[in-house]
Amino acid sequence: MGNCYFLATLSSLAEFPERVKQMFVTQEINAAGIYLMRFYVNGVETLVVVDDYLPVTEYGTPAFATCRDGELWVSLLEKAWAKLHGTYARTEGGLPSFAANHIMGVPSESYSHS
């Protein structure tokens, strides 16, 4: 897909479950399947609404990121990230620092180790 920078940032954040939980304004599974997520754009809290209808391949398997244990949080956050940027295609290519800034709402930097 090309959004590995975003998934890498989520993977790092997963070490702190409370931080992941803070991204979800909607804390409970609901019958409507509607979830409100929290991101930050230029340091300003920006709320994104998504539903739990996820894109699938022609074989019925998830088209994008999933959790091995069947949890939906990664898929929902990836969908919200795509919605924040207009489409999944617009999330291709980026740096973890860019995603971290939007997820945590604090300045971040990238360092080249070459």
What mean pLDDT, rounded, does the chain reach? 92
Surface-to-core class of residue 8, CB atoms within 10 Å of its CB (0-12 exposed, 13-18 middle, 19+ buried) = middle
Whether residue 50 contacts residue 35, with contact meaning beta carbons closer than 8 Å, is answered with yes
**pLDDT single digits (tens) 49-80:** 999 999 899 998 888 988 888 889 999 999 99
Q: Where along the chain do its domains lie?
A: 4-104
Which residues lie across from 67 on neighbouring strands?
none
* pLDDT tens figures, 2-26: 899 999 999 999 999 999 999 999 9
pTM: 0.90
- Those residues whose C-beta lies under 8 Å from the C-beta of residue 67, and which sit 6 or more positions away, are 73, 74, 75
Tell which residue, 41, 28, 52, 45, has the closest CA to residue 86: 41
